[in-house]
Homo-oligomer: A and B are copies of this chain.
Amino acid sequence: VNTHNLCLLGFGNVGKALVRLLIEKQAPLRDQYGIDWRIAGVASRRLGWIAAPDGLDPEALLRGEFPASLPDLSADPVRQWLEAARSDVLFEISSLNAQTGQPAIHHLRTALECGAHAITANKGPIVHAYRELRDLAARCGKRFMFESTVMDGAPIFSLFRSALPATNIVRFRGILNSTTNYILTRMEAGLNFEDAVREAQEIGIAETDPSADVDGWDATVKVAALATVLMDSPLDPNSIERSGIRGLTGAAVQAALAEGFRYKLVCTAERGDAGQLRARVGMEKLSLTDPLASVAGTSSLVHFETDVLPGLTLTEHNPGPRTTAYGLLADFINALRPEGGS
Contact = CB atoms under 8 A, between A and B. Distances in A.
Nearest to A314: B314
Interface string A17-31: 000010001001100
B322 A311 contact: no
Contacts of A159: 155, 159, 163
Contacts of A189: none
A276 interface: no
A326 B309 CA distance: 8
A271 interface: no
A310 interface: yes
A311 B316 CA distance: 6
Contacts of A341: 162, 337-342
A291 interface: yes
B308 A322 contact: yes
Given A166-B33, A333-B166, A316 B326 contact: no
Nearest to A316: B312
Interface of A: 21, 25, 28-29, 32-33, 153-155, 158-159, 161-167, 288-289, 291, 294, 296, 299, 308-320, 322-323, 326, 329-330, 333-335, 337-342
Given A155-B164, A311-B318, 8 more contacts: A161-B163, A289-B294, A310-B317, A310-B318, A314-B314, A334-B342, A335-B342, A338-B342
